[in-house]
Amino acid sequence: EPEVTQTPSHQVTQMGQEVILRCVPISNHLYFYWYRQILGQKVEFLVSFYNNEISEKSEIFDDQFSVERPDGSNFTLKIRSTKLEDSAMYFCASSEELRNEKLFFGSGTQLSVL
Partner 1 sequence: GQQVMQIPQYQHVQEGEDFTTYCNSSTTLSNIQWYKQRPGGHPVFLIQLVKSGEVKKQKRLTFQFGEAKKNSSLHITATQTTDVGTYFCAMDSNYQLIWGAGTKLIIKP
| Binding stretches for partner 1 (CB under 8 A) | 40-45, 48, 55-56, 58, 91, 99-108
How far apart (Å, rounded) are the C-alpha atoms in residues 59 and 68?
A: 18
Distances, alpha carbon 99 to alpha carbons 53, 57, 90, in Å: 14, 13, 19
Nearer to partner 1, 71 or 101 (CB): 101
* Shortest distance (Å) from residue 62 CB to partner 1: 16
* Shortest distance (Å) from residue 14 CB to partner 1: 26
Composition of the chain by helix, strand, coil, percent to 5: 5, 50, 45
* Shortest distance (Å) from residue 15 CB to partner 1: 26
Nearer to partner 1, 63 or 101 (CB): 101
